[in-house]
Amino acid sequence: MTNDYDIMWTEKYRPKNLDELKGHEDIIPRLKGFVERRNLPHLLFAGPPGTGKTTALLALANDLFGPGNVSRNLLELNASDDRGIDAIRNKVKEFARTASYGGVPFKIVCLDEADSLTSAAQHALRRTMERYVKTSRFALICNYSSKLIEPVQSRCAIFRFKPLDEKSMKEFLVKICEKEKLVYDDEGIATVLYISEGDLRKAINILQSTVASGKSIEKVTVLQTVGHADPEKIRSMLTHALKGDFYKARDVLQHLILEYGLSGTDVTYQIYREIPSLEMPDLQKLELNEYLAEVDFRISEGASSNIQLTAFLAKLVKENESRVS
């Protein structure tokens, strides 16, 4: 087993070119077309975190410029740090106005987390995108494209990244496990996939954290590492309540909070994920989701999580009694 835990596996196993990217079969061919034509428009990559937006751009730059010329032709800025108008006027403009190096006639300015840019910075960016289009292309990466002003969006070719499918994620995680000579089982990998919810970066970090603590990749060790409650215990709590056994359901709830140290919102989110699997009519599932949303809102506003979650279990017990009667 390797001991280089100081190396982040998200960087160590980051795909270096577009052919290595997986899970975005609708996006990769379009990006390869830009590389073949050696031209591209301004780009906007939008989607949930950990789905490969930044990786796709770096792979595109590697294929377009060649590995040796990327550093000279690509400016990476994290807009959550440099989010003001000065960053656009100074850093971006100085880079964008100079000629590219090598055979490609433009540079690429990458603004990660572009949805954090202030309104004034976005308006300045719009003008910069127009003015230096002959020497530079802009690639904006964000989680929420709606936070960008419409003039910026309309100047970009938009690529929407979806959460990665489990098959692609599992193949990638198993490849890491085999290269790192890790001890793992299918249930452990499935638990990592359940927790990460399509976020590959999160999945890889869970994998590395579990191994760094000296444990194999198994269901119990993964749950202990991330402090995530066992989904089966959540289902057990809900099942007890639906059968009318309030006290058993409450005991499971207290055990979850004490053993895993979960916050109220953590518990409500896990309940939300387990409601679809309950054996009850769809209409009642909708009602439970509606009430759970109220509970989550109250907790977020400062109400006692214990009282609110216990009230939710009481609601389930009452639902059971109304069905029986």
Q: Does any domain span residue 17?
A: no
Task: Give the whole-angstrom CA distance, residue 14 versus residue 21.
Answer: 9
CA angle 85, 89, 95 (to 5 degrees): 135
Dihedral sign for Cα 278, 284, 285, 287, please.
negative
- Model pLDDT for residues 108-163, shown as the tens digit of each residue: 988 888 888 888 888 888 888 888 888 889 999 999 999 999 999 999 999 999 99
Q: What is the pLDDT of residue 79?
A: 61
Has residue 83 been placed in a domain? yes
Type and span of the H or E element at 137: strand 136-142
* pLDDT score at 129: 86
- Residue 214 inside a domain? The answer is no
Q: Which residue range(s) make up the domain with 273?
A: 231-324
pLDDT of residue 84: 64
For residue 112, the domain's CATH number is 3.40.50.300
Longest pairwise C-alpha distance within the chain: 78
Q: Which residue has the tokens 């809900």?
A: 238
Q: What are phi and psi of 153, to 5 degrees?
A: -60, -40
pLDDT of the residue at 1: 42
Half-sphere exposure of 99 (CA within 13 A, CB side): 4
What is the pLDDT, as a whole number, of residue 325?
56
Domain boundary, last residue among 111, 143, 160: 160
**Considering 127, 160, 193, which residue would you say is the last residue of a domain?**
160
Domain count, the chain: 2
Give the count of beta carbons closer than 10 Å to the beta carbon of residue 244. Answer: 16
Residues 200-224 pLDDT 10s: 999 999 999 999 887 889 998 998 8
Residue that finishes a domain, picked among 135, 160, 185: 160
For the entire predicted model, the pTM comes to: 0.84
Q: Is residue 222 part of a domain?
A: no
- Report if residue 43 sits inside a domain: yes
270 vs 144: CA distance, rounded Å:
24
Do 29 and 144 fall into the same domain?
Answer: yes
Q: Convert 27-63 to b/e letters by CB count within 10 Å (16 or more is b).
A: bbeebbebbeeeebebbbbbbeebbbbbbbbbbbbbb
Cα angle 241-192-22, degrees, rounded to a multiple of 5: 130
247 and 135 within one domain? no
Residues 138 and 250 in one domain: no
> Looking at the DSSP assignment, which residues form a beta bridge with residue 110?
76, 139
Residues of the chain with pLDDT under 70: 1-6, 79-85, 87-88, 322-325
Kindly write down the DSSP assignment for every residue of 63-131, as one continuous string.
HHH-GGGHHHHEEEEETTTS-SHHHIIIIIHHHHTSPPSSSSS-EEEEEETGGGS-HHHHHHHHHHHHH
At residue 2, the pLDDT reads 46
Asked whether residue 46 is domain-assigned, the answer is yes
Task: Let me know if residue 62 belongs to a domain.
Answer: yes
Q: Is residue 10 part of a domain?
A: no
Alpha-carbon span 228 to 95, nearest angstrom: 44
Domain harbouring 312, CATH code:
1.20.272.10
Q: Is the CB of residue 242 less than 8 Å from the CB of residue 319?
A: yes
